[in-house]
């Protein structure tokens, strides 16, 4: 039961929950708001519609406003003349899947096919490819987050429930006018055939929009395409990075705290946490380490998790990656003797065969006595790879640049240490076999040990 619960927790968190929080709340890896004072972005989903979209285009043309249309591929396929007109009149065309279906309910390969099919339809009609994508209902999964579609994800900063006709033109006008300001990305709908929408809802939207455009024109404001807004926004992006990163780290640490509570992780040194652990039965395939130690299904192991708050704190005060590496090595060294003594002293750990964890490393932990093994291919390995790359890009001092320094070190690996090795090296008052890199730590250790601690709450359920 616990194994099933953990699997569900991992899958929902990796695939939907974490990407949803980071995109919706913090706008991480998506575009949802611009800046400025006189320009906003009108965006329209679910079309094209043969009745309402041409009327919308007439309205935009009359007020000399530009917009972005995220088209459903099956609709575009049926009404190519409307798509052709959208393109001819200078509006931006984006992708909204081939059918209007949530990405949470589709496999990554299915989402990718939906996007490609819609892009091919747009290309056949207009002669241009689209690189902008809005998933239905704005719902992203982990693979969308990792640029599974190859497109830039566009969300919104304001929506108005205009898919319901009962809202009425008057109330809809008030809602849109309340959000009429620079940098706003407004979500509206030019088609009412989507599940949950009213077929005649776009009629009320058109009435309200005409009133809003009249006010905008009087105020000297104009609607621009999303790509134009993004180009303007990129100039001020650097100023926002540090705040965004702090917010992302806060969300991750909150999630990690919940993970630790849910699975009752213990901390080796609560006053200065670095290593967390729990005892469980190994459930993966038999593993034979280099020293001949064998780990079989059902054997008791201590599952290790590394403290990302500690990593972030050390990284924040480190002046260089070399300094960060030295401090991380010393933090791990400090905890291993305490953990070894706990294994010796506590009766419930008598049957423990070894330590076990997962990390984005290739060689660094070997100096601590760990064996580094390939993670068996499968869904967990793929999800872990994407998840850890995302985490690394947020927490690592070099950010996303760290992801581009070589694919070999960016593969998740299994870390295992026989309990005999742990006790022999670290128990009681024995001097640890690993020498602290006090003066000139090897460059390899510098790069790899930093990544060792990135894994956080991501141990495998192999």
How confident is the model over 126-180, as pLDDT tens digits? 999 999 999 998 887 666 655 556 789 999 999 999 999 999 999 999 999 999 9
* Token pair of 330 as six digits: 């010393």
- The answer to whether residues 71 and 117 touch, using CB atoms and an 8 Å cutoff, is no
Q: Alpha carbon of 397 to those of 35, 241, 311, 400: distances in Å? A: 27, 13, 10, 9
Q: Does domain 29-237 have CATH number 3.20.20.370?
A: yes
∠ CA 152-28-156, rounded to 5°: 65
The beta strand positions in 72-136, using DSSP E, are: 92-95, 132-133
∠ CA 386-117-196, rounded to 5°: 85
Q: Alpha carbon of 223 to those of 8, 22, 37, 152, 232: distances in Å? A: 43, 27, 12, 20, 14
Tell me how far apart the terminal alpha carbons of the chain are, to the nearest angstrom. 15
pLDDT at 262: 87
Please state, in angstroms and rounded to a whole number, the distance separating the CA atoms of residues 355 and 333.
Answer: 15
The beta strand positions in 285-379, using DSSP E, are: 287-288, 294-295, 300-306, 352-359, 371-374
pLDDT at 347: 93
Residues 6+ apart with CB under 8 A from 405: none
pLDDT at 25: 54
Catalytic residues: 45, 189
Please state, in angstroms and rounded to a whole number, the distance separating the CA atoms of residues 134 and 386.
Answer: 21
> Exposure string (b/e) for 310-336, b if CB count within 10 Å is 16 or more?
bbbebbeebeebbebbbbbbebbbbbb
Residue 142: closest CA among 442, 461, 390, 407: 390
Q: H/E element holding 384?
A: helix 379-395
pLDDT at 243: 64
- Residues across the chain: 462
pLDDT at 366: 78
Q: Alpha carbon of 97 to those of 116, 151, 221, 460: distances in Å? A: 9, 12, 31, 33
Helix pair 237-262, 379-395: axis angle to 10 deg:
130
pLDDT at 98: 96
pLDDT at 20: 59
pLDDT at 360: 61
Please state, in angstroms and rounded to a whole number, the distance separating the CA atoms of residues 79 and 208.
Answer: 25
Q: Alpha carbon of 391 to those of 359, 388, 445: distances in Å? A: 11, 5, 20
pLDDT at 268: 94
Please state, in angstroms and rounded to a whole number, the distance separating the CA atoms of residues 262 and 8.
Answer: 13
pLDDT at 410: 54
Residue 306: closest CA among 456, 448, 459: 456
The pLDDT tens digits of the residues spanning 92-118 come to 999 999 999 888 788 888 989 999 999
> What are phi and psi for residue 358, nearest 5 degrees?
-130, 140
What are the sequence ranges of the domains in the chain?
Answer: 29-237, 264-455
* Token pair of 383 as six digits: 């999800």
Task: Answer whether the bond into residue 48 is a cis peptide, omega within 30°.
Answer: yes
Please, what sign has the CA dihedral across residues 256, 260, 261, 266? negative
pLDDT at 387: 67
Q: Which residues of the chain have pLDDT under 70?
A: 1-28, 141-149, 235-245, 315-325, 360-364, 379-381, 383-385, 387-411, 429-462
């Amino acid at each position: 039961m616990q194994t099933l619960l953990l699997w569900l927790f991992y899958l929902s968190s990796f695939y939907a929950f974490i990407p949803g929080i980071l995109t919706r709340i913090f706008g991480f890896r998506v575009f949802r708001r611009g800046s400025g004072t006189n320009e906003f972005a009108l965006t329209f989903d679910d079309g094209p519609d043969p009745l309402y979209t041409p009327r919308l285009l007439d309205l935009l043309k009359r007020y000399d406003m530009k917009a972005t249309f995220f088209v459903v591929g099956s609709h575009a396929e049926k009404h190519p003349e409307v798509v052709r007109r959208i393109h001819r009149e200078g509006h931006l065309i984006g992708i909204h899947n081939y059918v209007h279906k949530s990405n949470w309910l589709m496999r990554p390969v299915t989402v990718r096919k939906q996007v490609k099919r819609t892009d091919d339809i747009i290309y056949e009609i207009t002669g241009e490819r689209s690189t902008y994508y809005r998933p239905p209902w704005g719902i992203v999964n982990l693979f969308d987050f990792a640029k599974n579609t190859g497109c830039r994800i566009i969300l919104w900063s304001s929506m108005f429930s205009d898919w319901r006709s009962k809202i009425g033109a008057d109330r809809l006008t008030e809602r849109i006018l309340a959000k009429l300001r620079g940098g706003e990305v407004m979500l509206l709908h030019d088609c009412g055939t989507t599940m949950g929408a009213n077929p005649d809802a776009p009629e009320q939207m058109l009435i309200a929009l005409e009133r809003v455009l009249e006010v905008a024109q009087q105020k000297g404001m104009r609607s621009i395409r999303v790509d134009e807004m993004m180009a303007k926004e990129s100039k001020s992006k650097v100023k926002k990075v540090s705040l965004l990163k702090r917010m992302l780290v806060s969300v991750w640490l909150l999630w990690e705290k919940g993970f630790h509570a849910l699975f009752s992780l213990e901390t080796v040194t609560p006053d200065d946490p670095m290593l967390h652990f729990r005892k469980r039965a190994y459930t993966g395939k038999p593993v034979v380490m280099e020293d001949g130690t064998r780990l079989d299904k059902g054997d008791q192991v201590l599952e290790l998790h590394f403290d990302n708050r500690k990593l972030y704190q050390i990284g924040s005060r480190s002046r260089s990656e070399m300094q960060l590496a030295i401090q991380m090595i010393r933090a791990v060294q400090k905890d291993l003797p305490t953990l070894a003594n706990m294994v010796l002293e506590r009766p419930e750990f008598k049957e423990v065969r070894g330590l076990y964890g997962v990390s984005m490393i290739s060689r660094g932990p070997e100096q601590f006595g760990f064996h580094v093994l390939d993670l068996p291919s499968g869904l967990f390995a793929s999800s872990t790879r994407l998840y850890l790359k995302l985490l690394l890009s947020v927490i690592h001092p070099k950010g996303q640049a760290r992801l581009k320094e070589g694919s070999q070190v960016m593969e998740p690996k299994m870390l295992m240490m026989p309990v005999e090795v742990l006790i022999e090296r670290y128990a009681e008052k024995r001097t640890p076999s690993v020498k602290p890199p006090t003066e000139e730590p090897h460059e390899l250790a510098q790069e790899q040990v930093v990544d060792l601690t990135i894994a956080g709450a991501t141990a495998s359920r192999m």
